[in-house]
Structure 1
Amino acid sequence: MSFIVSRNFLFSLADTDNDFGPGFVVVAKSESGDESFEPTTLSRDNTPRAARQYAVQQVHIGKKKGIQGHHNSCYMDSLFYSLFLFSDALDSICKIDLCKNVDIRNSSAFEMQNNLLTLIVNPLRGENCFMPAGNVMRLRKQLETFLPGVLKEEKDAEELLAVLFSKNFVGGDGHPPLLHLRNVMLEEDQDLFVYQVFVEPENEEAYAKMQKSIPCVRNILAQSFVLQGQFFRQNPTCFLIQLPRFGKEKVFPGIFLPTEIDISNISLSSPQKCSICSVAAAKLRCKSCSLSRSERVMGARKNFSIFQYCEQCFDVIHKSKKNHVKDEIPTGEQSLNGFKYILDSVICIKTSHYVSFARTKLNSPEAFPRMKC
Structure 2
Amino acid sequence: MASADNKIYFIITAKPPSPNGYIKAGEICFIDKQRFNAMQKNNDTDVLPVVRMGKVTDTLLDKVLLQPLSRRSAELLMAVESNEDRLLALNDPEALEKASNLSAGCQVHVEYKGQWLTGVIRYIGSLKSYSSDPPTGVFFGVELQGEDKGKGQNDGSFHYKTYFICPKNSGIFAPFTRIKPVYHKPSAPLLPTQSSLSITTTEPLKAGDRVTFFGDKNAHHGMVMDIKDHPDGKMVLISTDKDEEGKRGGEMLIPLDCVIKEELLNKDETEKMDTSQGAGMGGVTDSDEITVGSLVQFLGKTLLYGIVRWIGYLPDFPGMTAGLELEDSSAGLNDGTYKGKRYFNCPPYCGLFVKLSSCRPDDRFSGVKKKLFNGNSDNDEAMVSEEQDNVPPIRTEDVSNRLIGKMKGIQGHCNSCYMDSALFSVFSCSSVLDSLLFKTTEYETIQSILLKNIVNPLRKQGFVSEQSVMNLRKQLQKREHCPTYTTDEKDPEEFLSLIMQEILFLDPPLILCSQSGSIQKVQSCYYYQIFMDYNHHLVLPTVQQLLEHSFYSNSLKLAEVPSCLILTMPRSGKSFKMFPKIIPSTELDITGLLADGNLSLNLYKYECLGVSLFHCALLSHLRCLLLYIFTCTLGPQQCVLCGQLANQECAECFRDAAFSDTGFKYFCVKCSAQVHSHQQRRCHKPSTLILPQGFSYSQSSGSDRRTPPREKLELFAVLCIETSHYVSFVKYGPQDTDWIFFDSMADRVGESDGYNIPEVRACPEVGQYLHMPLAQLANQVPREMEGVAKRLFCDGYMYLYQSKTMSLYR
Shift of 1:245: 1.4
2:501 paired residue among 149, 166, 172:
166
Residues 327-359 of structure 1: per-residue CA shift (max 9 Å, x gap): 77566689xx97122111111102210001111
1:196 paired residue among 524, 529, 554:
529
Matches within 5 A, 1:87-98: 87-95=430-438, 98=439
1:52 paired residue among 390, 394, 397:
394
Structure 2 stretches of 5 or more lacking a match? 2-128, 132-326, 328-364, 366-370, 599-634, 695-708, 738-762, 767-785, 792-810
Q: Which moved more, 1:308-317 or 1:80-89?
A: 308-317
User: 1:163 corresponds to which letter in structure 2?
Assistant: L
**Do the aligned residues in 2 keep the contact of 1:217 with 1:257 (CA within 8 Å)?**
yes
Quick check: 1:257 aligned with 2:600? no
1:120 paired residue among 454, 457, 462:
454
Computing the radius of gyration over CA atoms, which structure comes out larger, 1 or 2? Answer: 2
2:662 paired residue among 301, 304, 312:
304
User: What SS is found at the alignment partner of 1:81?
Assistant: helix
Q: 1:281 to 1:76 in 2, by over 3 A?
A: same
Q: 1:71 to 1:49 in 2, by over 3 A?
A: same
Q: 1:362 to 1:41 in 2, by over 3 A?
A: same
**Do the aligned residues in 2 keep the contact of 1:53 with 1:87 (CA within 8 Å)?**
no
1-side partners of 2:636 and 2:410: how far apart? 44
**Do the aligned residues in 1 keep the contact of 2:387 with 2:457 (CA within 8 Å)?**
no
Shift of 1:70: 0.6
**Do the aligned residues in 1 keep the contact of 2:676 with 2:684 (CA within 8 Å)?**
no
Which residue number corresponds to residue 143 of structure 1? 476
The percentage of counterpart residues that share the same residue type is 30
User: What SS is found at the alignment partner of 2:716?
Assistant: strand
User: What SS is found at the alignment partner of 1:184?
Assistant: strand
1-side partners of 2:445 and 2:691: how far apart? 44
Residues 280-309 of structure 1: per-residue CA shift (max 9 Å, x gap): 6334331x3213x47x99xxxx93342235
Shift of 1:135: 0.3
Q: 1:317 to 1:198 in 2, by over 3 A?
A: farther
**Do the aligned residues in 2 keep the contact of 1:223 with 1:304 (CA within 8 Å)?**
no
Q: 1:132 to 1:231 in 2, by over 3 A?
A: same
2:649 paired residue among 266, 269, 284:
284
TM norm structure 2: 0.35
Residues 89-131 of structure 1: per-residue CA shift (max 9 Å, x gap): 0011111xx21xxxx5xx4x111111100011001001x2110
User: 1:272 corresponds to which letter in structure 2?
Assistant: Q
2-side partners of 1:182 and 1:338: how far apart? 20
TM norm structure 1: 0.73
User: 1:290 corresponds to which letter in structure 2?
Assistant: F
User: 1:349 corresponds to which letter in structure 2?
Assistant: I
> More relative contact order in 1 or in 2 (CA 8 Å, sep 6+)?
1
User: What SS is found at the alignment partner of 1:138?
Assistant: helix
Shift of 1:181: 2.2
1:348 paired residue among 699, 717, 720:
720
Which residue number corresponds to residue 183 of structure 1? 514
1-side partners of 2:677 and 2:640: how far apart? 11
**Do the aligned residues in 2 keep the contact of 1:66 with 1:129 (CA within 8 Å)?**
yes
2-side partners of 1:283 and 1:22: how far apart? 46
1:372 paired residue among 769, 790, 803:
790
Which residue number corresponds to residue 219 of structure 1? 545
1-side partners of 2:555 and 2:400: how far apart? 44
1-side partners of 2:715 and 2:645: how far apart? 33
1-side partners of 2:130 and 2:684: how far apart? 41
Structure 1 stretches of 5 or more lacking a match? 2-20
Shift of 1:215: 1.1
1-side partners of 2:711 and 2:640: how far apart? 19
1-side partners of 2:544 and 2:417: how far apart? 28
User: 2:510 corresponds to which letter in structure 1?
Assistant: L
**Do the aligned residues in 2 keep the contact of 1:52 with 1:86 (CA within 8 Å)?**
yes
Higher strand share: 2
Shift of 1:320: 7.1
2-side partners of 1:240 and 1:364: how far apart? 21
Shift of 1:39: 3.4
2:425 paired residue among 82, 92, 114:
82
Q: 1:58 to 1:310 in 2, by over 3 A?
A: closer
1-side partners of 2:714 and 2:680: how far apart? 41
**Do the aligned residues in 1 keep the contact of 2:647 with 2:691 (CA within 8 Å)?**
no
**Do the aligned residues in 1 keep the contact of 2:501 with 2:526 (CA within 8 Å)?**
no
RMSD: 3.7
2-side partners of 1:360 and 1:192: how far apart? 26
Which residue number corresponds to residue 234 of structure 1? 560
**Do the aligned residues in 2 keep the contact of 1:22 with 1:359 (CA within 8 Å)?**
no
Q: 1:355 to 1:325 in 2, by over 3 A?
A: farther
